[in-house]
Amino acid sequence: MMTDKVRIDSFGANSLNGNNETYLARQAEFESNVRSYPRKLPLAIAQANGVWITDVENNQYLDCLAGAGTLALGHNHPDVLQSIQNVITSGLPLHTLDLTTPLKDQFSEYLLSLLPGQGKEYCLQFTGPSGADAVEAALKLAKKVTGRAGIISFSGGYHGMTHGALSVTGNLSPKEAVDGMMPEVQFMPYPHQYRCPLGIGGEAGVKALTYYFENLINDVESGVRKPAAVILEAVQGEGGVNPAPAEWLQRIRKVTKEHGIMLIIDEVQAGFCRTGKLFAYEHAGIEPDIIVMSKAVGGGLPLAVLGIKKEFDAWSPGHHTGTFRGNQLAMATGLTTLKHLTENKIADKVAAQGEWLKGQLANLQKRYPVIGQVRGLGLMIGIEIVKPNEAQDHMGCYPSDPELSALLQKNCFKAGLILERGGRNGCVLRLLPSLLITNDELAIFLDKFEQALLASGIKPV
């Protein structure tokens, strides 16, 4: 029976009774076994502001997850909250299917202006409000445009959990009990700064992977039919924060264009200043045929949008729909967020902070060799945890240590720091904080992270 209650007429901290354990037990009673974050981050959130979260026991945490990158401006940014209030008091409908409003018009115009060439060659498609649904739409459109069925994706890639999106996702675990994945999906190796999939490493490894991709497309005996599209992340997020080398991306763009293969870039996590540029693909100076956008584009509320080259807008009316593609609140918070990011040159700030933070983490690496590599762009950073007392492979890489990575995440949480894990076997600790995080708050992160290292029994050298 209900012993600890939350008043539905007020959600302030004073209305929350009980402790984290109570709420987590009730969540386990109410929800499916599919829940994941509460198993790693056992708290019930009472309040949040900026990069800080307070739980129902009044413990504070520095949040370096930020809704998996959704909260670009952090929790409860005053401009975002005001934009919600403005819609609520304006008389606008909250839900419009794909009917337009003055707000949607403003949002669309501004978002388009951020795409290559100020969006003159692009149009927008509002899909269901998740990145996965946007990926589904992109895959369907590519097949419709080209008349072909195949898709090339990459090991380590993450594109969502719906049927088509899961089919082009590298992670095998969620596929184990799902028969009948989408056919004609060909996976290829993705460059990895620390663990080259070809066992070569360095510039030679990147060149070999580039040649491998081009040869597969050109080889009439490859066994792989020409695909409708190539889908990739310019920086793999869930796959362990792996930035694609610029020359590799540029070659993929050249080859796909030459062969009439559509290039879909998934910017769901890396987009909107996260990597120190507005979009991660900009680091390579390329233009995708389809850009998949979600997370930060809605300013913290559910929204997903495709940017489609107009020449490939082959849809017939209603051939990909979604009831909640007209979320006016998300367009308001999204417009506010995009304007704040661009008008305040947040990408430049993020790029500078990312370089500084990687330098500080590299200094930590010298004292704590369990840090195998620090990589990433902007405020999308990965810390690979390894076993430095075991033998290196022929490329000089130590074996990964997923058990220590999990322990570090646990001890980070105890120190008041929220981090996610990713990469093969979860051996990479990932940073995705608010893009408005201050230098002082980054220093707090470094302090808390070192506390976690020491609490995990790791002694500095």
Q: Which two tokens stand for residue 309?
A: 């080259």
Q: Of 344, 367, 390, which closes a domain? A: 344
Where does a domain end: 329, 344, 359? 344
Same domain membership, residue 270 and residue 241? yes
Same domain, 411 and 445: yes
Domain-embedded: residue 244:
yes
The CATH number of the domain holding residue 28 is 3.90.1150.10
461 occurs within a structural domain? no
Give yes or no for a contact between 326 and 285, defined as CB atoms under 8 angstroms apart: no
Is 73 a domain residue?
A: no
Last residue of a domain, one of 328, 344, 360: 344
Residue 1 inside a domain? The answer is: no
Assigned domain for 364 exists:
yes
> Can you read off the two tokens belonging to residue 268?
């769901």
110 and 197 housed in the same domain: yes
Q: What is the pLDDT of residue 177?
A: 82
Whether residue 304 sits in one domain with residue 180: yes
Largest Cα–Cα distance of the chain, in whole Å?
69
Q: Count the domains in the chain.
A: 2
| Dist CA 117 CA 114 (whole Å) | 8
Mean pLDDT by groups of 10 residues along the chain of 461 residues:
41 62 95 96 97 97 97 98 97 95 98 97 98 98 98 98 97 91 96 95 96 96 96 97 98 98 98 98 98 98 98 97 95 98 98 98 98 98 98 95 98 98 96 98 98 97 94
Residues 118 and 49 in one domain: no
Q: Do 277 and 167 belong to one domain?
A: yes
Residue 105 sits in the same domain as residue 218: yes
Print the domain residue range for 397: 8-65+346-456
The verdict on residue 362 lying in a domain is yes
The model's pLDDT over 372-430, given as tens digits with 9 standing for 90+, comes to 999 999 999 999 999 999 999 999 999 999 999 999 999 999 999 999 999 999 999 99
Q: How far apart are CA 351 and CA 209, in angstroms?
A: 27
Q: Does the residue 95 lie in any domain?
A: yes
Helix (H, G, I), strand (E, B) or coil at 169: coil
DSSP assignment string, 84-145: HHHHHHHT--SB-TT---HHHHHHHHHHHHTSGGGGTTEEEEE-SSSHHHHHHHHHHHHHHH
Q: Is residue 396 part of a domain?
A: yes
Same domain assignment for residues 104 and 154 = yes
We report the CATH number of the domain holding residue 204 as 3.40.640.10
Q: Which pLDDT score, from 0 to 100, does residue 13 have?
A: 46
- At 17 the pLDDT is 62
pLDDT digits (tens, 9 = 90+) for 175-231: 998 989 999 999 999 999 999 999 999 999 999 999 999 999 999 999 999 999 999
The answer on 195 and 254 residing in a single domain is yes
**Are residue 277 and residue 408 in the same domain, yes or no?**
no
